[in-house]
Amino acid sequence: MSEHLLQKKVTDTFQTRFHEAPAMVVRAPGRVNLIGEHTDYNDGFVLPVAVDRAAWLAIGPRDDSWATVRALDMRNDEKTFPVDRTPSSGGGWSDYPQGVVWALLEQGFAPGGINGVLSSDVPVGAGMSSSAAVEVAFAYAWDQLGGFGMKLSDLALLCQKAENQYVGVNCGIMDQMISACGRAGHAMMLDTRTLERAYFSMPAGIAVVVADSTVRRKLSGSEYNVRRAQCEQAVSILKERFPDITALRDVTPQQLDRFQTDLPEIVYRRARHVVTENNRVLQVARDLFEGRMNHAGQLLLEGHRSLRDDYEVSIPELDTLVQAASEVEGCYGARLTGAGFGGCIIAIADEAAVPDIEARLDEVYDAVYGKQPTVYVTLPDNGVARVA
């Protein structure tokens, strides 16, 4: 569905359900990450792009301290919850706006009562940050309605806090930051420790192809939190040798290899992925700036192997898609994107090669798994904004 139709959909439904026009419509994008996976909660570097798929929220104020929100993509499910105290978690989609309420209250803000209608074309569970898009949309809307004057980077941090401490997923800052601060036509290199951002223009004629394996995963019930704990364990052990380190961001490959035997084997491999992945992010950013797409593509493939073998978050379906895409002439490289355990791969390729990549992915995936992936081309887009 086009963005125009999505905006009309939430606006029309709001008017029908609440018998008035919305005060505003907010759009917050999902994302794909070119490289830098599982580095963000280790104070490292990431290189995401905001995509032209987003959460759309039509919203209006009400006179009491309650929120009523209808989610069109959840079978028109409607939830009502308080905004003057912490709402009770129900474990579903409404935990994301409810978590934003909790985080706003924790920060000393007073979110007002609202009516809202939510729709999104960011695939759920596909590793494209559908949850962050919803959080950022609600946080931005409450900020605008309440006149809080939050900076976009602070808004992203608030949404991360909501997901970490209310929803219960220990995600890093990347997803919320790119949804809040993305820039059309650019990848954003983010230093997750300092929150310093640098934007790199995507080279002309280069397409970012996303292939959804259709395998879904639920982060809060997955191995995600286990991986984070293993990284923290590596830091705790290495800190005995290097007292100044506070995260794997501070560890060099040489230091890690020198004291490999101090770490349990599985913890060493987890740490090796993060340490080498940080270096890959910096190299790919330079490659984009200088137009070295062949080298950038090789680093994507290298990153996928690291995620598969050292971090063990890939699955056979993702490996099959990466291999199939990388065999097509004009494809520079491919890898899983997102936390893993399902979801999507990305491939960077010449625009002219896109039809061949789509055909090859369909052919191979059908032959191996008897189904076809959802394949589409994404364009780097802007972050959250009021659109009406």
Element (H, E) at 264: none
- H-state helical runs in 262-353: 265-290, 293-309, 316-326
Q: Which domains does the chain have, with CATH numbers?
A: 3-202+382-386 (3.30.230.10), 206-378 (3.30.70.890)
Say if CB 345 and CB 123 are below 8 A apart. no
pTM for this structure?
A: 0.92
Q: Give the model confidence (pLDDT) of 1-17 as tens digits.
A: 788 899 999 999 999 99
Strand blocks (E) in 14-65: 24-33, 45-46, 48-61
CA distance 155 to 143: 9
Residues identified as active-site: 175
Model pLDDT, residue 220: 46
Question: Would you give the DSSP letter of residue 310?
Answer: T
| Whether pLDDT at 294 is above 90 | yes
Q: Give the model confidence (pLDDT) of 270-284 as tens digits.
A: 999 999 999 999 999
The whole-chain average pLDDT of the chain stands at 95
Element (H, E) at 157: helix 152-161
| Whether pLDDT at 170 is above 90 | no
How far is CA 246 from each of CA 47, 226, 251, 261, rounded to the nearest angstrom? 22, 19, 9, 20
Q: Give the model confidence (pLDDT) of 36-80 as tens digits.
A: 999 989 999 999 999 999 999 999 999 999 999 999 999 999 999
Element (H, E) at 240: none
